Structure 1
Amino acid sequence: MTEATTAVDTPRTVMWSISDIASRDGVSKQSVSKKVADLIERQGLSVERDERGRVSRVNVAEYDHLRGRTDNPSKSQRPSTSGRELSQSESYEEALRQKTWHEAERRRLELESLKGALVPLADITVALGEVAGDIIQVLDRLPALADDLAAAIAREGSHGARTILKAEVERLRTGIADALDKALKPPSETA
Structure 2
Amino acid sequence: MSPGSLSRRRLLLTGAAATLLPAAARAQEATDGPPPMIPAPELAPVRRNTSSFVRQDWRTHFDTLGVGAIVCDTTSRALHYWNADGSDYRIYPTSVPASEELTRRGYTKVVRKKVGPDWTPTASMMERFPELRYMPPGPDNPLGTHAMYLSWPAYLIHGTHDTRKIGRQSSDGCIGLYNFAIEELFAATPIGTQVRII
The TM-score bracket by the shorter chain reads under 0.3
TM-score by length of 1: 0.24
The structure carrying a bigger strand percent of its residues is: 2
Max Rg structure: 2
Higher relative contact order (CA 8 A, sep 6+): 2
Q: Please, what TM-score do these two structures have when normalized by structure 2? A: 0.24
Higher helix share: 1
